[in-house]
Amino acid sequence: MQRQESFSKPFFYDITLRDGNQSLKKPWSLDEKLFIFDKIISLGIKAIELGFPASSQMDFECCQTLANKAPEDVLVSVLARAHKNDIDRAIEAVKTAKKPRIHTFITLSPFHMEYVLMKKPQDVAQIALDAVEYTKKRLIEENMPVNIEFSVEHFGDCRENLDFVIEVLQKIVEKGATTINLPNTVERTRPKVFIDMLKKVKQALPENVIISVHNHNDLGMATATTVEAFFEGALQLECCLNGLGERAGNTDFTQVAVALHNNGIDTGIDLEQIYETSLIISQMSKVKIYEKAPLIGPEALAHRSGIHQDGAIKTKDMNFGAYRPIHPSLIGRYDDEKIGFTSQSGKTAIYDILKALKYPITIQESVNLTPYAKQLAETKGELTTDEILQLYFDKICDIKGTFELISFKPIEKGVFDLFFNFKGERKEVIGKGNGPMDACLNGLKKLGFEVNLSHYKQYSLDGDTKGSGARAMTMISVLDKNNNEIIGRAIDTSTAQANVKAIFNALNQLY
């Protein structure tokens, strides 16, 4: 990954409490806003739009309380339409803040001026200029810093009158605006079209004016537009936690922060807090994180195709994953990459799932189990872990065939009576040996069924559980006539029975 040394830190301007809040079915109360405000600050975000004081008494009071509480290194802003009452209300709401800002706006889009404001462009421009001039005057009267953001609402729709917009913005800067925000209020075109417009505005304005973007996500490209805007000189990025906002929402903060990080930018954000914060915001906004939401969606770490599963498992603990953009711990996400078994999956998934369930399995056994799992998944869809486990018990630990164990009982110390069917024919033999396994192998040998054990292992499947319920697994390896290794497994609460069953399991593969 290349480092882009020449770029300054992005200035994240959080709009969760204003643009996000205004889109909620139940806007947040003061207590809720206070809680979220703290979360935003602890993420390391240094600019927060608190609300729209003129919209309601409740929002005014929220803005006032939060402004009062804001730490001195956090800029707090409030929204005001471009008229005196809103501006007065906004100033009243933030005047106790250590770093206050007034954010005023009006549209300059031809469509909006004609059909929504029903005003001529020159008249709208005058309203904008007057609003900024008035804000500056009032801020000075109140002994407040002159920090004014002006937004061209529907900037994205100003393609045909961009020269006019630029002229107005130049005057607006002269009147005192310090940040010029370019909202893509409704996303209708390509990110590139927007970026080209932004570049023209940037070139036309003095260097010290901060260019900001505020992209809505109607076509799902808000993150792309915002990230590219940063690389074209927009320093202020207006983002919302969980991409909340009107319609399809605003630009998602997480996506932008992580994308910039992945492109070598120091975001100044405590990325590790992102995941937990997103879960909290989802709960508090009652807006679910959709399954496939990038980075934070429940499915964002799921792999179902065999090829992806193989790559994901091989690179699981690496920082750079084969099929994920970041190591999830970067954003404080600690659930494992999910490996789901479907008809598209393969042996690596079976192996990984059973291993995660703490059931021993070899790669060869997963290869053997895969066709059964695929066949089941073709009709059922994704298999549950219980279904996979059941297949493991049936097809790996209890292989049926020409041998069928009926009973294996001790007669006296070191002597056992073995009953079984071979190709449907009843067989009985007395086996003697050094323990049950040896006795069983000797008994079988007497009848001409030789089993050459090359490996033997016992597992306790239920951890430290003691007593009659605890299950033991026996795994044996035997060599067939071509010297191929065959594994016989079996599970039983009696170790002796597990041993004998494992031998029969192997026999059914040998014969």
| Binding residues for Zn ion (CB under 5 A) | 19
When CB distances are held under 5 to 8 angstroms depending on the partner's kind, the choice from Zn ion, ligand KIV, none that residue 49 binds is none
Mark the segment that binds ligand KIV (CB under 6 A) among 178-186, 289-297, 363-371, 501-509.
178-186
Kindly report the number of other CB atoms within 10 A of residue 408's CB atom.
23
Question: What HEC string does 426-484 produce?
Answer: EEEEEEECCCHHHHHHHHHHHCCCCCCEEEEEEEECCCCCCCCCCCEEEEEEEECCCCC
Q: In terms of CB distance, is 15 or 490 closer to ligand KIV?
A: 15
List all residues 6 or more positions away from 348 whose beta carbon is below 8 Å from its beta carbon: 306, 309, 310, 313, 366
Q: How far is the CB of 250 from Zn ion (least distance, A)?
A: 6
Q: How far is the CB of 204 from ligand KIV (least distance, A)?
A: 20
Among the listed residues 185, 236, 505, 508, the single contact to ligand KIV using CB under 6 A = 185
When CB distances are held under 5 to 8 angstroms depending on the partner's kind, the choice from ligand KIV, Zn ion, none that residue 236 binds is none
Mark the segment that binds ligand KIV (CB under 6 A) among 180-188, 310-318, 359-367, 442-450.
180-188
Q: Does 89 bind ligand KIV (CB under 6 A)?
A: no
When CB distances are held under 5 to 8 angstroms depending on the partner's kind, the choice from Zn ion, ligand KIV, none that residue 46 binds is none
Q: Specify whether the CB–CB gap between 133 and 107 falls below 8 A.
A: no
Q: Does 135 bind ligand KIV (CB under 6 A)?
A: no
Q: Specify whether the CB–CB gap between 164 and 121 falls below 8 A.
A: yes
Neighbouring C-alpha atoms within 13 Å toward the C-beta of 251? 33
When CB distances are held under 5 to 8 angstroms depending on the partner's kind, the choice from Zn ion, ligand KIV, none that residue 12 binds is none
Q: In terms of CB distance, is 155 or 416 closer to ligand KIV?
A: 155
Q: In terms of CB distance, is 183 or 306 closer to ligand KIV?
A: 183
Among the listed residues 13, 14, 19, 377, the single contact to ligand KIV using CB under 6 A = 19
When CB distances are held under 5 to 8 angstroms depending on the partner's kind, the choice from Zn ion, ligand KIV, none that residue 105 binds is ligand KIV
Closest to 15 in 3D by CA, of 193, 134, 155, 185: 185
* Strand pairing class (425-432; 302-303): unpaired
Q: Does 183 bind ligand KIV (CB under 6 A)?
A: yes
Q: Residue 421: helix, strand or coil by DSSP?
A: strand
Q: Does 105 bind ligand KIV (CB under 6 A)?
A: yes
Pair of tokens at residue 319: 């920082």
Q: In terms of CB distance, is 19 or 337 closer to ligand KIV?
A: 19
DSSP string, 88-129: HHHHHHHTT-SSEEEEEEEE--HHHIIIII---HHHHHHHHH
Q: Does 151 bind ligand KIV (CB under 6 A)?
A: yes
Q: How far is the CB of 54 from ligand KIV (least distance, A)?
A: 12
Q: Does 10 bind ligand KIV (CB under 6 A)?
A: no
Neighbouring C-alpha atoms within 13 Å toward the C-beta of 291? 3
Q: Mask 190-229, x = binds ligand KIV (CB under 6 A)?
A: ------------------------x-x-------------
Q: How far is the CB of 72 from ligand KIV (least distance, A)?
A: 25
CA distance 238 to 370: 49
CA distance 254 to 241: 7
Q: Does 16 bind ligand KIV (CB under 6 A)?
A: no
Q: What does R_g of the chain's alpha carbons equal in angstroms? A: 34
Q: Does 365 bind ligand KIV (CB under 6 A)?
A: no
The residue ranges that bind ligand KIV (CB under 6 A) are 19, 105, 151, 153, 181, 183, 185, 214, 216
